Structures are given as C-alpha cells and as structure tokens.
Amino acid sequence: MRDGDPSRRRLLSLGGSAVLAGITGCIEISKTGDRDDDTSDTDDNETNDTDDNETNTGDSTGDPEARVYREAIESVLLVQTDDGEGTGFMIDDTHAVTNAHVVGEADTTAIRFSEGRWTTGEVVGSDPHSDLAAIAIESVPESATPLSFAGEGAATGQDVVAIGNPFNFDGSITAGIVSGVDRSIPAPTGFTIPDAIQTDAAVNPGNSGGPLMSLDGEVVAVINSGGGDNLGFGVSARLARRVVPELIETGDYEHSYMGVSFLNVTPDVAEANGLADPRGLLVSDVVDDGPAEGVLRPSEETATVDRVQYPVGGDVMLAIDDAELLTNEDLGSYLALHTRPADTISVRIIRDGEERTVGLTLGTRPDELS
C-alpha cells in the first residue's frame, strides 16, 4: 500500500463492495431532473411536504437525540448540483461543509434550508484527498447557527446521530454509536482518507456531507460513505479542522507525501525478513523521484513462507518522530494530522538488522495515485 492507499481487500472482507459504492453517496439526478433512486415513484410533493412549511422538529422532550436534532436541523442543508445531491451543514455565518464528491466539478450549487428556503452556494474550495468541500452561501437564515467540530477525537462506543437527506427524505435522523476510530477509507483520488470514523448509524445515499454528531451537539465526523449492514464512515472532525479553513481561505489543501509502498509486518512477513518481532511497516517500494528515494531502502527480493511470497530486504519503519507505527493507519493519521509538505520528519527504521534514524523531507501528495 502506498502512503496508506486503499486497503481494498480489507474493505471487501467487511462487506466492502457496498462501502466502495457508497463513497459516491450523493443521489444522482438524471438529465430530466428526476432523482435516480429507489423512491423515484414517489411524487416530489409527497416526499417533500415541508417545502412550504417549517420542518416539524417535534415537541420538547428529554431525549438527547431529539434535543441535538432540534438544535442542529436548521443548520443542515440540502446541497444540489446538476449531477446529484447530498447534505451539508453550516460551520460559520456564511460557509458550509459537504463532501467533495457531492459538489463534483460544480462551481455553484443550489442550497435548501430545512425551513424550505432555497438559495445559491459558491464552491470556494474542494479537496478530493479528504473528500471535503467548502461552500459560500449567498443568503443564510438567522436561525441557521453554525455547528462546531468536536475538539477531541471520537471515542469508540459513544452515542452519535447522523442528520441528512437520505433518498430524498429531507431532514432525517438516525442514531447509533461510534463503531471504530482511526479507520482508512478510500478517497476519490485512489489514496486513502486516514483517521476516519466508523458508525453503525444508518447512512444512505443523500447523507453524504452531513454531520455525524455527538449527544453534546458537536460534529465528530463529516459523513462520507455507507451502504454495508450497519457500516458507515465519516471524515473525522480532527482532519476537517485542518482542511476546511484552508479550503475557505485558499481553495485547496496540500497533503504530506512520503512516496512509499509498505506492508504491515505480520508474523509471516517478519519470518521472511528474519526479524525477531512482528512490528512496524516494511517498505516494499519507493516512488521514483519521490521524497523517500535515496532515504528509505525498498524491498528488491522475495522470500516464501507457507507457500506465500513476501517482499524482503527493505527498511522496516518503526516510528515517525516520537509516534510508534504499529499499523498503516498509524502512519496515515500521523502524516495527516501532524505534518505538512516540506516538513522534515525523523524516521526510525530497521536496516540490515540494526535500528537507525534517518531524516526525510515530505513532499506534496500528487492529484491521483499512479
């Protein structure tokens, strides 16, 4: 895997065919203007009976999910382009966040607030590597108060709700828990999105770009994909807090890049390479003219263990700076959350049976995985 590129076999083993399909989780709109989804036989006026009326948020209750919904719903948007639609949410008085795959190549979007008002949005920045986009909204109701990204990382097991517009059912809410953290999920560019959040809250086409919220009313992730049984994913608040401000300010975001392919050092990989312990990441390849060329040694031979061939001879990365590398998710998350292009990092490696530390100056990730 290259700089944490999609672990597709792993995703497929988890029912990932639906997950991979779900990354395009906006609802496509045909050229005739009809939505291309399973609810197309339902009249638009019947499914959108809130077009001319305020969304019914229910009576006040003590349920925390209902409270979060009431306080957030007027800040959650329907985002529509010529090619499809998804969800977004306000993050300040004039800007909203959604997925890059929701806006696609569009420069402008149609925006609908929960109380039925339509306005126009300008796509001011988009980053396919993190699948995030920022939209400047032309006219924002006073009731649409910004939602805040969580200051801390999500915790496995914590209660969350997903708010959005699945299958054209505007203003829907589903509830669940954070099923896992520090996941790697496919990005539209062929690389991976690190530090992703996994949830069992129902996520369907049309939810993409909406908020996954804690019961404290903070956004813990921007919903990105779903479709497996109780299996949805979102871009973490920690990554969004780094990316979105630059999308608003400059229009894009540059990600750190090492230019290496690697394997987790499993017991079989360790045996093939004569390592005493299965730890770290084995460098299997180095990109020509990439940041790691001449710094890290790639594997150039193979060895067989239990009739399976493994690359051998490459450096084994143990840590970056003071961060230990146990999995490819560790590497991807550290690069994404703690480094920027042109930073020089210290990489602790095993080479020829000895530990040593080398310095590596990071580059900028290319537009697509080659």
pTM for this prediction:
0.84
pLDDT for the residue 134: 98
Is 252 part of the annotated catalytic residue set?
Answer: no
Same domain, 290 and 207: no
Is 101 part of the annotated catalytic residue set?
Answer: yes
CA distance 173 to 167: 13
Q: Which of 131, 170, 182, 200 is catalytic?
A: 131
Question: Is 265 domain-assigned?
Answer: yes
Is 289 part of the annotated catalytic residue set?
Answer: no
Q: Which of 95, 101, 129, 255 is catalytic?
A: 101
Residue at a domain's end among 250, 268, 302: 250
Who contacts 17 (Cβ-Cβ below 8 Å, separation ≥6)?
none
Residue at a domain's end among 250, 268, 298: 250
Give φ, ψ of 249 to 5 degrees: -80, -40
Q: Which of 114, 126, 130, 208 is catalytic?
A: 208
What are the structure tokens assigned to 87, written together?
Answer: 């969800």
Same domain, 196 and 335: no
**What domain count does the chain have?**
2
Same domain, 240 and 284: no
Question: Is 116 domain-assigned?
Answer: yes
What's the gap between Cα 137 and its chain centre?
23
Same domain, 261 and 198: no
pLDDT in tens, 231-266: 999 999 999 999 999 999 999 999 999 999 999 999
What are the structure tokens assigned to 105, written together?
Answer: 């190549």
Average pLDDT, the chain: 87
Question: Is 352 domain-assigned?
Answer: yes
Question: Is 369 domain-assigned?
Answer: no
CA distance 319 to 317: 6
Closest to 181 in 3D by CA, of 163, 202, 204, 158? 158
pLDDT in tens, 306-325: 999 999 999 999 999 999 99
Low-confidence ranges of the chain (pLDDT < 70): 1-61, 227-228
pLDDT for the residue 13: 35
Residue at a domain's end among 250, 272, 302: 250
Same domain, 199 and 303: no
Same domain, 272 and 230: no
H/E segment holding residue 338: helix 328-338
